[in-house]
Amino acid sequence: MEKTVTQAIEYRRSTRIYQDTEIDINKVKQCIHNASLAPTSSNLQLWEFYHVTNKSTLEKLAEACFNQSAAKTSQQMVVVVARKDLWKKRAKANINFVNSSYDKANLTDRELKRKKMATNYYTKIIPSIYTDFLGILGYIKFFVFQIIGLFKPIYRQVRNSDMRIVAHKSAGLAAENFMISMAAINYDTCPMEGSDTLRIKNILNLPRKAEINMVIGCGIRKEEGIFGPRFRVPFNEVYFNV
């Protein structure tokens, strides 16, 4: 039986040694589909998921991950990729969705207002935030917005570096969806920071502007693959009711 969300969260541990037991490709694919349902900034979905099952490619990825045991013993891997560079394409997809959703006669005033609001958002606001030229335009927008911010609340994350962070935050949310989904069906994962991301991009034949967010090893845990009991700082040190 599939675990509840709380059970899956409690079960999930970063597993660094996996059994030599195959896991179901289609079940992992479904977990990746769950990842694609994660919250994402402006619904731009600036992510891609590379489901690696080929043994030769797994060996290459393991080497790019410094042959750490979480990579060497993985039965499959999932590479989460941030694609900030696809913002125009994804904004257009949202516009097409809005148009198809309201493609009917006799729209109410409320529906007309929502359609106009969404269309303006993806045709005007998103380009104003994501458009940049060698980082220069981003800094100009940053200083202008800081001045406006002296008088009213305003969105301040408008530099190229800011938008990279936004894309990676969304990709990270998707990665967590994936790992919790895997835990729910008794599959284990390990998000690996230690890797040569340039080599990984070359192995997966990714474009220059794609960025590796996370490499996740997948399999079924060996008990020795869980390195000791879970440690967390006391909850009252990180929880603040305001």
Domain count, the chain: 2
**9 and 80 share a domain?**
yes
Does residue 195 sit within a domain? yes
Residues 140-192 have pLDDT tens digits of: 888 888 888 888 888 788 788 888 999 999 999 999 999 999 999 999 999 99
Does residue 242 sit within a domain? no
CA distance 39 to 14: 23
Question: Of the residues 161, 188, 213, which one is the last residue of a structural domain?
Answer: 161
**155 and 216 share a domain?**
no
Does residue 63 sit within a domain? yes
Residues 121-132 have pLDDT tens digits of: 999 999 988 988
CA distance 141 to 126: 13
How is residue 185 written in tokens?
């069906």
Question: Of the residues 161, 184, 212, which one is the last residue of a structural domain?
Answer: 161
The DSSP line for 99-142 is: HHHT-SSS--HHHHHHHHHHHHIIIIIHHHHH--STTHHHHHHH
State if pTM tops 0.75: yes
With vertex at residue 69, the alpha carbon angle to CA 203 and CA 190, rounded to the nearest 5 degrees, is 75
Q: Containing domain of residue 156, as a range?
A: 87-161
Distance of CA 30 to the CA centre of its chain: 16
Stretches where the chain sits below pLDDT 70 are none
